[in-house]
Homo-oligomer: A and B are copies of this chain.
Amino acid sequence: MSGQPNHPALLIPGPIEFDDAVLQSMSHYSESHVGAPFVATFGETLSMLRKLFQTTDPSSQPFVISGSGTLGWDLVAANLAEPGDEVLVLHTGYFADSFSDCFETYGVKATQLKAAIGSRPQLSEIEKALKEKNYKLLTVTHVDTSTGVLSELKALSELVHRVSPDTLLIVDGVCSVGSEEIEFDKWQLDGVITASQKGIGCPAGLSISMYSGRAIKAFQSRKTPPGSYFASFKNWMPIMQNYEAKKPSYFATPSPQLVHALHTSLTQILSKPLSERFAAHREASQKVKKAVTKLGLKQLASDPADQANGMTAIYLPENIQAPELLPNLLKKGVIFAGGLHKEIAAKYIRVGHMGVSVTDPKRGDVERAIKALQSGLSDAGYQKA
């Protein structure tokens, strides 16, 4: 039984559908941000994030800050790089352009390594680029929300550590944390930034990130102060460490309600082995992708090895445009997203399959999505060639 009123199933690549208990936590009565009960909740939340990211290294540092996924870019650009530093941005779509803009804002020189839409830079190209210049950071979008392209982190990390061991490896995991496997310690990642409203299954409003001891050391050996005030590690690090040690402290007022919801969501996620969660996402994803193929449609990510498990980006048949199809799907009770890549925005749609829509099969969200897509295309006159 759901405590939520009847509403169309939100199956976009974030925000996703939320569990009742998570939404109920959003209504938590007001608490002091420095009172013992909330300090304990925040501290436990930070400790649970370590488990979600699979890091046991005590030098890793989690951050939870009021903001959005975008704020994570400022955290990286204003703290882990200094003006004049060079960074290599792997480009898989829309978001690499924005991350590069963010670096440039802080005087950091961003070089993009581009790939065709639906693809990703190959390891050999990355190796070549890393050998040409000294990069302070390399950034990769784990799942590109604009294309559904999944990047492989383990092999990338091995490459970076072999070819350019001083380069920090930063992962934009906004559309991957909680839905794609990430082993922070084992894969030797230096930073993963994300947001609350996708695979983590908590309403939007929180910037969530994890940094390695190596990244924190790089921050501490800066020659210049951080380039941002609100996004400054200097201001936030003692606060996060105090909360996790269950000690009150203050830099800016956190959102107790959002942190309660995140606490509830992480408690649910960690109540089962993470491997089961990732398997459920892979399985639902395969269901959607098989149905897409059966309909004779193609994904933006053409190589199965490059396909995300939490979302699918689908090219529409030639005569059907996203702005016509999506309102009809809404009538059928599901909300999908249009394209984000300007030049082809009307030509493709994006379907999210993350969180409770995947882990709670009683909801039937994935089946509803597939059925709606089939009948929506049929309504629009599409027949498989």
Q: Which residues of A contact B (CB under 8 A)?
A: 3-5, 7, 10, 12, 14-18, 23-24, 26-35, 66-71, 73-74, 77, 101-102, 105-106, 195, 197, 203-205, 225-232, 250-258, 335, 337, 340
Q: Which residue of B lies closest to A327 (CB)?
A: B36
Task: Give 26 A-B contacts (CB < 8 Å), ordered by A residue.
Answer: A5-B29, A7-B30, A15-B30, A15-B31, A23-B27, A23-B257, A26-B257, A30-B203, A32-B335, A32-B337, A33-B204, A66-B67, A66-B204, A67-B230, A68-B230, A68-B255, A70-B253, A101-B229, A105-B226, A197-B255, A203-B257, A204-B255, A204-B256, A228-B228, A228-B231, A258-B258
* Identical chains bound together, number: 2
Contact present for B30 and A27 (CB under 8 Å): no
The 10 A-B residue pairs with the shortest CB-CB distance in the complex, in nearest-first order: A205-B255, A70-B252, A26-B26, A68-B252, A102-B229, A23-B27, A105-B229, A204-B255, A4-B29, A203-B257
A39 to chain B, nearest CB (A): 13
| A251 CA / B252 CA spacing, docked (Å) | 23
Contact present for B7 and A29 (CB under 8 Å): yes
A203: chain B residues at CB < 8 Å are: 30, 255-258
A341 to chain B, nearest CB (A): 13
Q: Which residue of B lies closest to A75 (CB)?
A: B230
A221 to chain B, nearest CB (A): 19
A227: chain B residues at CB < 8 Å are: 105, 227
Contact present for B253 and A15 (CB under 8 Å): yes
